[in-house]
Amino acid sequence: MPGAVSPVAVLTTRPTLAADIIIANAPDPVFVCDLEGKILEANEAVSRLLGLRRDEVLEQSISRFLGQDEAREFVVALREVVERDVTRNVRLQPRSASGEMIPTTLNASALRDTDGSIIGAIGILRDMRELDQARAYAESLIKNAPDPVFVSDLEGKIHQANDAVFSLLGFRPDELIEQSLSRIISPEETWEFMVALREVVDRGVTRNARASSRTRRIRYSCRISRERSTRRTMPCSPSSGSVRTS
């Protein structure tokens, strides 16, 4: 999986044998490019991802595999990596030999020579097709669930909710999405929810909580569980029988 990559020492503008071994044995697609974005080294995983032979990838500009906007975005990220010596994550859709646009994330970090000078970047690509499909499936389940279901981040901000939530609480989507839960429940219940939320995240358990709408005289119970793929939480109400007016 992509992550922070330790700088690899090189003697010339090409990777050394040690770097070659690291790149060749990486499970994810890994490539090395110079300061102009030309690919100097790439492993077999890159070839499999793009459907190209290795000799069709080497010495090519990365922009060959990207659209114009993404090529510019890559150049900006490469410049930031080089000038600020940081690690950047960029969402890219390289074009394969068949013409398919492949959703990926790129993790890029600086590549140094033995004197410590930055001479290029090492990039790790992660194929996001399966994850995107899983996320789309999860979003479909949320949207079509008969009970009110919403997704929040670790700070309690709502990022997604289905129509049943809006119907229950009497809010329009633009009034609820990107808003804190504290807008719809009391300060005391918000504090209780955040305690439960931390327990869900830290211990990987499912918690039940009670809450009352601040805008309607409705009491309801929430089942809080963790959405593992994005480290967000997915609070769900159980059956409609547990939602009652006070």
The predicted-structure confidence for 42-70, as pLDDT tens digits, reads as follows: 999 999 999 999 889 999 988 889 988 88
- Position 176 scores a pLDDT of 86
C-alpha to C-alpha distance for 26 and 8, rounded to whole angstroms: 14
- Position 59 scores a pLDDT of 92
pLDDT value at 222 more than 70? no
* Domain covering 136-245 in this structure, CATH number: 3.30.450.20
191 three-class SS: helix
Instruction: Find out whether 177 and 151 touch, Cβ atoms under 8 Å.
Output: no
CB atoms inside a 10 Å sphere around CB 49: 21
Q: If 0-12 CB within 10 Å is exposed, 13-18 middle and 19+ buried, where does residue 8 land?
A: buried
pTM of the model: 0.55
* Domain covering 17-127 in this structure, CATH number: 3.30.450.20
C-alpha to C-alpha distance for 204 and 218, rounded to whole angstroms: 29
- Position 228 scores a pLDDT of 52
Q: Where in the chain is the domain with CATH 3.30.450.20?
A: 17-127, 136-245
- Position 21 scores a pLDDT of 67
Nearest Cα to 94, choosing from 24, 45, 35?
45
Here the tokens at position 147 are 């009970």
Instruction: Find out whether 215 and 184 touch, Cβ atoms under 8 Å.
Output: yes
Here the tokens at position 190 are 């918000």
Q: If 0-12 CB within 10 Å is exposed, 13-18 middle and 19+ buried, where does residue 123 land?
A: buried
Q: If 0-12 CB within 10 Å is exposed, 13-18 middle and 19+ buried, where does residue 140 land?
A: exposed
Lowest mean pLDDT among 18-22, 101-105, 147-151, 168-172: 18-22
Q: Which residue has the higher pLDDT, 122 or 215?
A: 122
Q: If 0-12 CB within 10 Å is exposed, 13-18 middle and 19+ buried, where does residue 214 land?
A: middle
